[in-house]
Amino acid sequence: MIPRPDPTLETLVLNMGPQHPSTHGVLRVVLKLDGEYVLEAHPVIGYGHRMHEKMGEVRNVSGFYANVGRMDYAGALSFGHGHVLAVERMLGIEVPPRAEYIRVITTELNRIASHLLWFGAFLLDLGAFTPILYSFDDREYILDLLEHVTGARLTFSYFRVGGVNRDLDERFIQGTRVFIRRMRSRFEVYHKLVTGNVIFRKRVEGVGVISPDMIRKYGATGPVARGSGIPYDIRRVEPYSVYSEFDFDIPTFPEGDCFARYRVRLAEMEQSLRIVEQALDRLPDGPVMVEKVPKKLKLGPGEVYQAVEAARGELGYYLVGDGTDVPYRLKIRPPSYSNLSLLNELAEGVLLADLVAIMGSLDLVIPEIDR
Amino acid sequence: MTDVFPPDLIRLIVSFVIVVAFAFTNAAVLVLVERKICGHIQRRPGPFEVGPHGLLQTAVDGVKLMAKQMLVPRNADAGLFRAAPILSFVPPIAALIVVPFARMLQVRDLDIGVLFILSLAAVNVLAILVAGWSSANKYSLFGAIRAVAQNVAYEIPLLLSLLTIVIWVGSFRMSDIVAAQGGFWFAFTPMGFVAFLVYFICGIAETNRAPFDLPEAESELTAGFHTEYAGMGFGLFFLGEYTNMLLVSAIATTLFLGGWNGPAFLTTAGTGFWATVIQTLWFLAKVYGLIVVMIWVRWTYPRVRFDQLLNFCWKILIPISMANLAVTAVWLKL
Amino acid sequence: MIRYFREIFEGLWSLLVGLKVTGRFALAPTVTTHYPFDELEVTPNYRGHIDLVVNPKTGKDKCIVCMMCQRACPSGCITVKGQKPEGAKKRVLTEYRLDFTKCSLCGNCVEACPTSAIEFSHEYNIAGTSRHDFHYDLVERFRDRCRTLGVEPKIADLTPVATKPKPEREKTESQGDRKPDG
Ligand code: SF4
Ligand code: SF4
């Protein structure tokens, strides 16, 4: 129940959001406070609801390409990846290997961009203003690269059923190699400026500890789960696309606090760089699109569930077809929704400032929750 | 003439006008300096379009702030709400009266100079409390509560560190303290250095600047105690903050960094015009050097948490400054 | 006791390291672009709103008024109209309107076009005071662009012809790999 103000009690009801600097969008959290201590926190969602799932059920598959990027603007390509993989699986389309490699390269770059955005925003939540500018400096390189290949900087609409929209060129490949070198040297700056900082450590260590049991109870995934020592990564447990061909680690940290989640994400960026590097080395030649994609993609009858590892965790597309080219049902399982549901339990008894840190460490993207 | 306008009164009025003008100029310059430094730290140029290299940006912002309507929220206590900004910027300006900019450039050399400044600086917390309470906003109220706890706690190590110097010199008078540093500056003695460090940290906390900007903590309390202020009400808080920074740095300079004394041979203790100019320049150079460090610190660190802030004060700063004071007292007795 | 002091010193040290990082960057050159004065080069693949492809030699368009783009658009922002001039076999494009307020830049229209008659423009400095400013008449834009290219626009040409030459058709590519002008 959302708490209501009660003048007879010594508690205060505070409405954090929908417009608040650290709710990153339009999340509203109703807090019941005793002084600075949070007694209850109730997230209220739906302010950014745009009926993406319903749109997926009234449009044909190609009409939905543009929607996927709008759900998670920080990691749009993972959302596109899940969508096209689900449809391809239903139709039994075999994608040319070059297209799959391109998908992996761009998705991993996008994952780094998403984590960089999170890094900056998290530090902003903790009151440090400068790191976001440094991480955006790096992120800008990724966006330039992705813009060069997809034509857009945020909502890419790049993946197509049967391949990708446009081939990579030499400039992208060279640029990506330069970026990988640059990014590796930048981690040192981040560690010096932030990871080692005593104020930062005191703000995140032991704050918002999530036990593995809680992770299982709420179905949290992604860096949140891996920050509690659960090595659950769809790329490893249920390999899709060509991920099984690469050598990369799944970083996990057992502490379960904000600092563990922070370290998971920083380590993941390094792993993503490794994947991109390997993929660039082995990039096969060939077409980037299946020869013949039927004009009308007749879906089903049947159903598929395709999960991918988005930047925030497990992203699932559940697609039901009834023989027409418009899906009968398109259910999306966004990662942030489950991760947000932890907040209720995590927030009990923490300080207001810690609540902000916890919310930041969960890496919530509100449009993806509201859809 | 002299009967109607005693020269002392004229002198006081003129100096007061000069001090106020100085405070305003200082704020205007500091806003720009802060934005420029912040910009360059973040690898961007900061304000750049208005005037050459953005030099006139503050003027434009000032006009904008003045042109804006100052809204008073419906449930606010209108009188207090309007009084708070004034309360926040008048005391630091008044405190500038006893600051010795040069040997001959000091409005009033009170024999309780240090005490005078400290008591006026303490009014700042009252301004924040009034602002936060009268706004009738929960975020503002939190800001006010935090400000009171923070400032009360940090005043103790601040006073203890200043006391170290005061017992050393044996006087509260600013000019005596400066004169005692003709040969060496207190910040370059072990006890003086510790006291200086403690004082500087407390000074940042007293001016409510990052990493101790809890009363305004943007990501937690939107804007804290000045959430509801717009236009010049907000502008005056800003003015107060920058004047406070100036004051904190001026005290640090006077008490720890030799005041208007320059380093060894570049100094002059004269009373002539040029000597005064040189002394003033030394003084301002040190003051603004400290302010730049404060700005630099602000754009580097995350914010501390409320309980950590108090723990830091009670468990680290107060014991250290007490020990420091004791060591100084023993050393002076020997 | 030793731990107490060690913590203080380590903490202070980490703070100094942080100051060193920001201090170094403060003295390094800035990385931003002063936008209205310097502009970055826009990648040739940039997706702005769509435009009709101009043949820079003849000033003709390539549209055959097949309506594929209009049908492919998920947001319904394209309106295409054509007419048959007297005596001609094929329809001629007379009206091509784009409601850019609804466009999501998905690229379906460009991919659907069998003759590669539309392309993405590189316009990104787009501003307007009302939403009607974003209802583009692409035929009109086509004429303007022809003039800047210095060719006589031959679009929506409805003069009756006895035998109109077949519009040159390009090999259709299903993935819509668009070709440069001409
Ligand atoms: S880009 Fe997509 S939304 Fe825009 S006009 Fe073309 S098909 Fe329609
Ligand atoms: S799909 Fe191409 S040829 Fe067909 S109407 Fe549209 S622009 Fe013209």
| Segment-wise mean pLDDT, segments of 10 residues, chain A, 371 residues | 67 81 81 84 86 87 85 86 88 87 91 91 87 89 89 86 85 90 88 86 86 88 88 86 86 88 90 90 85 76 88 89 86 88 86 87 86 81
**Structure tokens of A305?**
């569930």
Q: Which residue of C54, C61, C65 sits with most ligand 2 atoms within 8 Å of its CB, as the best mutation to test the pocket?
A: C65
- Asked whether the predicted pLDDT for residue B166 surpasses 80, the reply is yes
Say yes or no for a CB contact (<8 Å) between C175 and A165: yes
Q: What percent of chain B has pLDDT over 70?
A: 93
- Contact status, residue A298 vs residue A324, Cβ threshold 8 Å: yes
From ligand 2's centre to the CA of C96, what distance in Å? 9
In this structure, the answer to whether residues C144 and C59 fall within a common structural domain is yes
pLDDT the model gives residue B179: 76
Closest ligand to the CA of A67: 1
Distance (Å, whole) CA C45 – CA A168: 11
In a domain, C44, yes or no: no
Four-residue CA torsion sign, B259, B265, B269, B272 = negative
Find out if CATH 1.10.645.10 is the number for domain A59-341.
yes
- Please check whether residue C108 lies inside any domain of the structure: yes
CB-CB: which of B38, B218, B305 is closest to A203?
B305
**Whether B41 and C26 lie within 8 Å, measured CB to CB:** yes
Residue C68 Cβ inside 6 Å of ligand 1? The answer reads no
Q: Tell me if chain C has a CB within 8 Å of the CB of A190.
A: no
Q: How many domains does chain C have?
A: 2
Closest-CA distance, A140 to chain B, in angstroms, reads: 13
CA angle at A137 for the pair A133 and A143, rounded to the nearest 5°? 125
CA A155 to CA A172: how far, in whole Å? Answer: 18
Please say if the pLDDT value at position B181 is more than 80.
Answer: no
Interface test with C, best of B197, B293, B301, B308 (most C CBs within 10 A): B301
Q: What does the pLDDT read at residue C179? A: 43
The pLDDT of B180-204, averaged and rounded, is 81
Q: Tell how far the Cα of C77 is from the centroid of ligand 1, in angstroms.
A: 7
pLDDT above 70 as % of chain C: 87
Tokens 């790191």 — which residue? A131
Smallest CA separation from ligand 1 atom 1, residue: C105
Q: Hey, is A307 helix, strand or coil?
A: strand
Q: Can you tell me the distance from the alpha carbon of B310 to that of B115, in angstroms, rounded to the nearest whole number?
A: 24
C window 2-41, beta carbon within 8 A of B: 8, 15, 18-19, 21-23, 25-32, 34
A356 in Cβ contact with A17 (< 8 Å): no
Asked if residue C43 belongs to a domain, the reply is no
Q: Which tens digits make up the pLDDT trace of B113-130?
A: 788 888 888 888 888 888
Residues C59 and C95 in one domain: yes
Point out the residue among B41, B211, B220 whose CB comes nearest to the CB of A356.
B220
The answer to whether A202 contacts chain B (CB < 8 Å) is yes
- Model pLDDT, residue A7: 67
Same domain, C160 and C80: yes
Kindly report the nearest CA distance between residue B248 and chain A, in angstroms: 23
pLDDT value, residue A297: 77
Position A340, amino acid: L
Nearest CA to B246 out of B287, B205, B210, B283 is that of B287
Contact A198 C15 (CB under 8 A): yes
Closest CA to B249 of B275, B285, B277, B296: B285
Is C21 in the A-facing interface, judged by CB distances under 8 Å? yes
Ligand with the closest atom to the CA of C167: 2
Q: What would the pLDDT profile of B296-319 be if each residue is shown by its tens digit?
A: 888 888 888 888 888 888 888 888
Has residue C180 been placed in a domain?
no
Distance from CA of A188 to the nearest CA of B (A): 16
Identify the H or E element spanning B70.
Answer: none
CA distance B155 to B189: 23
* Contact yes or no for C31 and B43 at CB 8 A: yes
pLDDT, residue C177, reads: 45
Shared domain check, C103 and C17: no
CB of B42 within 8 Å of a chain C CB? The answer is yes
A244 in helix, strand or coil?
Answer: helix
Based on the fold, state whether residues C76 and C137 are members of the same structural domain.
Answer: yes
Instruction: Tell me if C159 CB under 6 Å of ligand 1.
Output: no
Residue C91: pLDDT above 60?
yes
Of B242, B239, B233, the C-alpha closest to B66 is B233
Shared domain for C75 and C163, answered yes or no, is: yes
Check residue C172 and give its pLDDT: 45
Residues C83 and C151 in one domain: yes
What pLDDT shows up at residue C61? 80
DSSP string, A64-90: GHHHHHHH-SSSHHHHHHHHHHHHHHH
What's the whole-number mean pLDDT along residues B15-40?
85
Q: Which stretches within A96-211 are classed as H helix?
A: 97-125, 130-150, 170-190, 198-204
Give CA–CA dist A189/A116, Å, rounded.
13
CB contact (8 A) between residue A126 and residue B218: no
Q: Which residue from C73, C63, C127, C131 is spatially nearest to C103, judged by alpha carbons?
A: C73
- Residue C88 confidence (pLDDT) above 80: no
Q: Could A289 and C174 be called an inter-chain contact, meaning their C-beta atoms sit closer than 8 Å?
A: yes
Q: What is the ipTM of this complex?
A: 0.81
Q: What are phi and psi of C84, to 5 degrees?
A: -95, 115
Query: Does the pLDDT at position C170 exceed 80?
Result: no
* pLDDT for the residue A2: 65
Domain residues of chain A, as ranges? 59-341
Q: What are phi and psi of C57, to 5 degrees?
A: -90, -45
Domain that holds residue C24: 1-31
Across the interface, do C30 and B40 touch by the CB < 8 Å criterion?
A: yes
Q: Indicate if the pLDDT at residue B5 is higher than 60.
A: no
* Distance in angstroms (rounded) separating the CA atoms of residues B115 and B173: 9
C138 lines ligand 1 (CB under 6 A): no
Nearest to B210 among A123, A127, A137 (CB): A127
| Minimum-distance ligand 2 atom for the alpha carbon of C78 | 6
φ, ψ of residue A299 in degrees (nearest 5):
-95, 120
Chain A nearest C-alpha distance from B153 (Å): 17
Question: Do C84 and C132 reside in the same domain of the chain?
Answer: yes
pLDDT of residue C169 exceeding 70: no
CB of C78 within 6 A of ligand 2: the answer is no
Of A144, A163, A169, A139, the C-alpha closest to A65 is: A163
Q: What is the pLDDT of residue A112?
A: 92
pLDDT at B50 over 70: yes
- B280-291 pLDDT, tens digit each: 888 888 888 889
Q: Is there a contact between B43 and C21 if contact means CB atoms under 8 Å apart? A: no
Q: With cut-offs at 50, 70 and 90, classify the pLDDT of residue B4.
A: low
Q: How far apart are CA A24 and CA A359, in angstroms?
A: 9
Q: Are residues C61 and C114 in the same domain?
A: yes
**Strands A163-164 and A302-310, bridge-based pairing:** unpaired
pLDDT at C176: 42
Q: How far is the CA of C106 from the centre of ligand 1 (A)?
A: 5
Domain boundaries, chain B: 72-333
